[in-house]
Amino acid sequence: MDDTIVSAFTAALQGSDTVATDKATLAENSKDYWGFGQQPGLVLRPRSRDDVVAAVKIAAEHGISLVTRAGASNCSAGVMAGADRAVIDLTQLNQVLDINPTSRTARVQPGVINFDLQQQLAPHKLVFSPDPVSAHLASVGGNIIENAGGPHALKYGVTYNHVLSVEAVLADGTVINLSAADDGPDLLGILIGSEGTLAILTEATVALRPIAPVTRSLMGSFSTARAAAETISAIIHTGTVPAAVEWLDRAGINGLQQFTDTGYPTDADAIVLIDVDGTAAEVDRDAAIVEKVLRQHATEVRRADDDDARAKLWYGRLHAPTPSCTAAKASSSATSPFHANTFRRCSRQSRTPPNVTRTPCCSSP
Ligand SMILES: Cc1cc2nc3c(=O)[nH]c(=O)nc-3n(C[C@H](O)[C@H](O)[C@H](O)COP(=O)(O)OP(=O)(O)OC[C@H]3O[C@@H](n4cnc5c(N)ncnc54)[C@H](O)[C@@H]3O)c2cc1C
């Protein structure tokens, strides 16, 4: 990118290391999780809202497109850079600013990783409901901008249902605050799920919910995907709403098994993982209903009644290895920046629950 523009960004952003044009950083920011993308002309790493404002103003002045990037795990090709574009990497804005157990809210910077927020909430027995399977990679800002859901969406809703207010920077550098309580059109709702097209989110206040006193998990294996789908319908038909429902088809089961011994039946056409939560009495009632329906249709039913058993049952599904792990295994250059980036992402996924044996992601073949 033109030296004048690089100098303008460098002069406007605070601190060292906020503007990068070195090959390694450009390469590291060129691809998304899925391996798509091109090398940007410049990478900006703001440390504050004011840095974001400054970057946006310089970009507007010079007609440079900004590509906002956090976990880069989106499925909508939202972080497509190019030589004439600047990536604005929000991973340095990664602070949980406040957790208020009384009002059950958290104020966060956009680059906070969903999993890290959940870790900080756990001692308060609170949870941020949006739980995309990518929680260990995806930022809360990315969850908001993609309106992410997850296994718990059926009972607890998607990200839209848990955002109370945001601060965001518009394309001309104006800072706006939007709240779910605002009168008039639902502007906050328009921003949620806007896939990076409207504004750069610099802060959010999200709603939390208490962790249910009891959770139990069940798994059904099915000889056909149709039988699995009909079973889920039959469960919903009983009036019981599971806390979480997740599905894996044959290709998914076998794909995961190549990386991790999931323990899932590799001869099944589909498996369904189901959580029920609530008080002990509610869980006894709901688990009995779900188990009865599963046993009518499934070739095998498994139950996990305690946390350890539950962690093992869900582990394979929630720790999907990155496609890049295969690339990393195949790569002969251990020092290339993309390889280093790949290993960093994989190491985030290597949080193994107790008593689970698995093949480490990116281990040598
Ligand atoms: C293995 C895997 C499993 C997944 N499972 C799920 C799932 O269960 N449910 C689901 O909904 N999704 C899932 N996803 C998709 C993805 O993880 C989510 O969309 C996630 O919310 C993206 O967050 P991110 O931090 O990676 O955002 P990024 O990919 O970095 O960005 C997403 C979009 O938002 C923009 N953006 C990012 N941060 C900001 C910001 N602060 N302000 C403005 N724009 C911004 C980017 O420009 C881009 O357009 C999965 C992805 C993977 C790889």
Strand 85-89 relative to strand 42-44, pairing: parallel
Domain stops at, among 152, 175, 210: 210
Q: Which residue's CA is the nearest one to ligand 1's atom 48?
A: 78
- Let me know whether 218 and 296 are in one domain: yes
Give distance in angstroms: CA of 114 to centre of ligand 1. 10
What pLDDT is attached to residue 1? 87
- CATH of residue 172: 3.30.465.10
Q: Which residue's CA is the nearest one to ligand 1's atom 1?
A: 134
Residue 360 in any domain: the answer is no
Which of 229, 279, 278 lies closest to 249 in space, CA to CA?
229
Beta carbons within 10 angstroms of residue 181's beta carbon: 8
What pLDDT is attached to residue 320? 60
Q: Which residues of the chain have pLDDT under 70?
A: 320-365
Q: Which residue's CA is the nearest one to ligand 1's atom 3?
A: 134
User: Tokens 């070739």 — which residue?
Assistant: 299
Domain stops at, among 210, 242, 258: 210
**Where does ligand 1 bind, in terms of residues with CB under 6 Å?**
33, 68-75, 78-79, 90, 110, 132-134, 137-139, 141-143, 145-146, 148-150, 195-196, 200-201, 320
Atom of ligand 1 nearest to the CA of 93: 41
- Let me know whether 136 and 73 are in one domain: no
Residue 159 in any domain: the answer is yes
Residue 363 in any domain: the answer is no
What pLDDT is attached to residue 364? 26
Please give the structure tokens belonging to residue 135. 């929680």
Domain limits for position 199: 96-210
| Count of domains observed in the chain | 3
- Let me know whether 235 and 247 are in one domain: yes
Residue 132 in any domain: the answer is yes
- CATH of residue 240: 3.30.70.2190
What pLDDT is attached to residue 234? 97
- Let me know whether 107 and 72 are in one domain: no
- Let me know whether 277 and 172 are in one domain: no
What pLDDT is attached to residue 318? 79
Q: Which residue's CA is the nearest one to ligand 1's atom 9?
A: 132
- Let me know whether 103 and 82 are in one domain: no
Give distance in angstroms: CA of 142 to centre of ligand 1. 4
- Let me know whether 201 and 229 are in one domain: no
Atom of ligand 1 nearest to the CA of 113: 25
- Let me know whether 300 and 229 are in one domain: yes
What pLDDT is attached to residue 258? 85
- Let me know whether 297 and 218 are in one domain: yes
Residue 355 in any domain: the answer is no
Give distance in angstroms: CA of 10 to centre of ligand 1. 28
- Let me know whether 106 and 190 are in one domain: yes
- Let me know whether 290 and 221 are in one domain: yes
Give distance in angstroms: CA of 26 to centre of ligand 1. 20
Domain stops at, among 288, 303, 319: 319
- Let me know whether 204 and 126 are in one domain: yes
Residue 299 in any domain: the answer is yes
Residue 80 in any domain: the answer is yes
Give distance in angstroms: CA of 158 to centre of ligand 1. 13
Residue 25 in any domain: the answer is yes
